[in-house]
Each structure stands twice: as structure tokens, then as C-alpha cells.
């Protein structure tokens, strides 16, 4: 049986610890898989083009990498640590 943990926020509203408790396992898996795929393709693209980019393009790619990892961390945190082996996104490139 799945036990949902609850906590009180600053407004004394009781909320579950993560969105994972509300999502079916398949949806949770699909979100995690999509995040890891996108970050993986970004890493491949970055490795293959790193020497061919102009400075402004490299800066833009770096910003995309940073923000991609940031949003991945937020989404994965919301999903909770149901599957600890997939809880951490790949490391940032820069």
C-alpha cells in the first residue's frame, strides 16, 4: 500500500510531499524518460558542436543547458524519489 506523506506549509495547509502520489506510475515513468532523453540529446549536440559554435551560440547553448537542468531538477523533485535510481538528471555540461 502506498503511504502518502503530508507536511504543513507556511500557511498551515496540508499538502502531499510530492506529485508522484497523484500520478500513475506510467505517467511518472514517461515524464522521467522524456527529461532524461532531452538532456541526453542536449549533451550529444553540445559535444558534437562545441568547437564549431560562435561565442554567442556557445553562450546560448550554455544557457539552454543550465535552464534544462534546472527545470529537470524541479520536475524530478515534484515527482519525488519513487525510483531513486532515476532521481538525478545527468550532470550539466558547463
19-69 tens-digit pLDDT = 656 667 788 888 889 999 999 999 999 999 988 999 999 999 999 999 999
Residue 39 lies in a domain: yes
Within the chain, strands assigned E span 6-8, 14-16
pLDDT of the residue at 54: 93
pLDDT of the residue at 26: 80
Distance CA 90, CA 30 (A): 17
Domain of 58, in residue numbers? 21-86
Residue 25 lies in a domain: yes
Q: What average pLDDT does this structure show over 1-18?
A: 49
Residue 62 lies in a domain: yes
Give the total residue count for the chain: 94
Task: Answer whether residue 16 shows pLDDT above 90.
Answer: no
Distance CA 84, CA 16 (A): 18
pLDDT of the residue at 87: 46
Residue 71 lies in a domain: yes
pLDDT of the residue at 80: 80
Residue 42 lies in a domain: yes
Residue 10 lies in a domain: no
Residue 30 lies in a domain: yes
Residue 2 lies in a domain: no
For strand 6-8 and strand 14-16, is the pairing parallel, antiparallel, or unpaired?
antiparallel
pLDDT of the residue at 17: 56
Closest CA to 92 of 49, 44, 39, 54: 39
Task: Answer whether residue 93 shows pLDDT above 60.
Answer: no
Q: Within 10 A of 36 (CB to CB), how many other CB atoms are there?
A: 16
Domains held by the chain: number? 1
Amino acid at each position: 500500500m502506498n503511504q502518502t506523506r503530508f507536511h504543513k506549509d507556511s500557511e498551515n495547509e496540508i499538502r502531499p510531499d510530492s506529485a508522484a502520489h497523484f500520478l500513475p506510475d506510467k505517467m511518472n515513468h514517461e515524464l522521467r524518460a522524456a527529461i532524461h532523453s532531452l538532456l541526453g540529446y542536449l549533451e550529444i549536440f553540445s559535444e558534437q558542436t562545441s568547437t564549431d559554435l560562435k561565442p554567442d551560440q556557445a553562450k546560448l547553448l550554455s544557457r539552454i543547458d543550465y535552464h534544462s537542468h534546472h527545470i529537470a531538477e524541479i520536475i524530478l523533485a515534484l515527482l519525488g524519489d519513487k525510483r531513486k535510481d532515476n532521481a538525478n538528471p545527468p550532470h550539466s555540461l558547463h
